[in-house]
Chain A
Amino acid sequence: MIEGAKWRRWVYFHIPLAGFLIWLLFPFYWMMITTVRPDGELYRPWNAPNYTPFWTNNPTFEHIRYLFAETLFATWLWNTMVIALAATAISLVCGVFAGYALSRLKFPFAGSLGTMIFVTYLVPQTLLFIPLADIIRNFRIGDSPWALILTYPTFLIPFCTWLMMGYFKAIPKELEECARIDGASRWQAMIYIILPVAVPGILSAGIFAFTLSWNEFIYALVFLSSPQEKTVPVGVVSELIRGDVFFWGPLMAGALLGSIPVAIAYSFFVEHYVSGLTGSVKG
């Protein structure tokens, strides 16, 4: 906290903070206000006498109704949820075990294996989707949720593995040694001691993985084609932009509703999540 006169606190703390908050939150505000603004106001020219871009006097839920009644938005939400949860679950299980093995077990090439996993994370998706498209065609899982559930882990597992590796390294190895002297096998020591202690790390990896798959765009765009199979980011963009016509109201309504699950996930676990990222294990 800044010490001293009141004006100093305002100049150095409150005003910059307010500016920062406005900068951060304005897009969300814009999304919200566009969602509830009637079409008549949305497409009013900027030099019209009653042009009011930042608020509305006639809020409406018409765009949200349109989204659910006239598009497959509910289906997209469901698809996205299923795909994100499944991909996160697969990646977490693999990431936790791989991270544990790489940070705790001594085996040949453990170090270089860890680096290799990290390198795969660095291959951009915009390159990887081309060979992956071929694989997906060969396995005949194109245009189904499996196309995404099985490809998202290609970038989620390296990510989870690295995050968990760091977290496991921060847990004192004496905890595990003590458990093993106490009569636990390596497996039991991991289940009863290490995993419960690593819950903050697992939660942050899970939230990150969930968000990444929820927002993923390019694989979803390439691997899915039928409208009823699409995810929210792709569905909203492909069905609500027709040629050069942007249906701004439903578009923004879709974006707003699409970001709510992620916001809920973050706010629920925010404390764990922070301690997971800063890697604090309290003894």
Chain B
Amino acid sequence: MARVLLRDLNKHYETFHAVKDVSLEIQDREFVVLVGPSGCGKTTTLRMIAGLEAITSGEILIGDTVVNELPPMDRDIAMVFQNYALYPHMSVRDNMAFGLKMRKFEREEIARRVKIAADILGIESLLHRKPRQLSGGQRQRVALGRAIVRNPQVFLFDEPLSNLDAKLRVQMRVELKKLHERLGTTAVYVTHDQVEAMTLGDRVVVMKDGWVQQVGDPLELYNAPANKFVAGFIGSPGMNFAAVSFQREGDTLLAVNHGLRITVPAPIAARLNGHAGRDATLGIRPEDLHLAGPDDDEGHCFEALVEVIERLGSEILLDVKVGPASMVASVPPTVRTRMRDTIRLALDPERLHFFDAETEVAL
């Protein structure tokens, strides 16, 4: 077990700056998820921790050791790859034992550890099989087993679930979480799937274009996104955005565009004082919209044209047009409405977000 420290990490390829000044402290026993769209530098960061990519500048510490120059084998890590990378010519048992054999463990110790790992993952009956005789989920377990037997300081996961079908992915996600609870090994996990990131991570690191956008626990990212990118990336369906400008009317601040005329609640307005008269982006999550009722303040309601109705069972997603902007509203399954209807929606004023129109930083 150990903490992992990244200090001003940079990676330059010949013409491409893949990772930019990434600094991150991963605590002992913590499960940290790097998430972002493809090409955001998350996998490169992970591979630098693993020692598979050279570090252009900056430092990586595992425990108290600077590992910049250490080869992968001396970093005491284990990695699970997206395509499992099982050795096709070896049985499951040999696959799991390979790392221990390379480290010259006693034969009995190898057998003992393989048995324990196989027990944990429920793959005792598969030990004699070759990887090609296994299903995707079983291969995934073997890949995990190969990481567990080594009992390393850090687990590295590179999109380990993305080759599985949707149902199995959800199941393995839960098992991974349980496994981490049980073993308590520090883990760094890379994924492009924000649901995986939110469910697995003690903390989540959102990356884009090589920069870290925000680091925080899942609810922090959800409730207080640092910028428009994080706001749109975290949450499903994504946050609704609308370009607005601020107008002052007496004591109240209004966010206005064609179709919207929203009264900004006082606590938020206090933060926005300097921005009156300037453009901004309003953000509101689909689950913070509801059909307007008698209790809703007029300043938080607006008209919307229903374009598409998605019935998901537990909720209904309404794709609506508000002035020029498209929005999605999540409403209870009991709501009855038809396409092309004009409805009145209300928003939860406490849950409003505003972002600077140019810098996209949260205001």
Report A174-201 CB contacts with B as 1/0, cut-off 8 Å: 1101111111110010001100110100
User: Which residues on B are within 8 Å of A, measured CB to CB?
Assistant: 50-52, 71-73, 75, 77-79, 81-89, 98-99, 102-103, 131-132, 139, 146, 150
**4 additional A-B residue pairs with CB within 8 Å, beyond A174-B82, A182-B102, A182-B146:** A177-B50, A177-B85, A183-B99, A283-B86
> In the complex, what distance in Å separates the CA atom of A181 from the CA atom of B98?
11
Residues of A within 8 A of B81 (CB): 174, 177-178
Least distance between A269 CB and chain B CB atoms (Å) = 17
> In the complex, what distance in Å separates the CA atom of A253 from the CA atom of B284?
89
Which residue on chain A has the smallest CB distance to residue B134?
Answer: A283
**Is A282 part of the contact surface with B, judged by Cβ < 8 Å?**
yes
> In the complex, what distance in Å separates the CA atom of A53 from the CA atom of B198?
83
Which residue on chain B has the smallest CB distance to residue A188?
Answer: B102
Asked whether B89 lies within 8 Å of A196 as measured between CB atoms, the reply is: yes
A174-B83, A177-B52, A283-B131 known; A182 and B88 CB under 8 Å? no
A interface secondary structure, majority: helix
In the complex, how many residues of chain A place their beta carbon closer than 8 angstroms to a beta carbon of chain B? 21
> In the complex, what distance in Å separates the CA atom of A192 from the CA atom of B98?
10
Residues of B within 8 A of A59 (CB): none
**Is A89 part of the contact surface with B, judged by Cβ < 8 Å?**
no
Asked whether A181 lies within 8 Å of B72 as measured between CB atoms, the reply is: yes
**Is A16 part of the contact surface with B, judged by Cβ < 8 Å?**
no
Asked whether A175 lies within 8 Å of B85 as measured between CB atoms, the reply is: yes
Give the interface centre of B73, B78, B83, B139 by most chain A CB atoms within 10 Å: B73
> In the complex, what distance in Å separates the CA atom of A140 from the CA atom of B85?
51
Residues of B within 8 A of A193 (CB): 87
Asked whether B72 lies within 8 Å of A180 as measured between CB atoms, the reply is: yes
A177-B52, A282-B132 known; A185 and B73 CB under 8 Å? yes
A282-B132, A283-B131 known; A178 and B89 CB under 8 Å? no
Residues of A within 8 A of B99 (CB): 181-183
> In the complex, what distance in Å separates the CA atom of A204 from the CA atom of B244?
67
A196-B89, A283-B131 known; A181 and B77 CB under 8 Å? yes
Asked whether B146 lies within 8 Å of A283 as measured between CB atoms, the reply is: no
**Is A172 part of the contact surface with B, judged by Cβ < 8 Å?**
yes
Contact residue among A181, A185, A283 (Cβ-Cβ distance under 8 Å from B50): A181
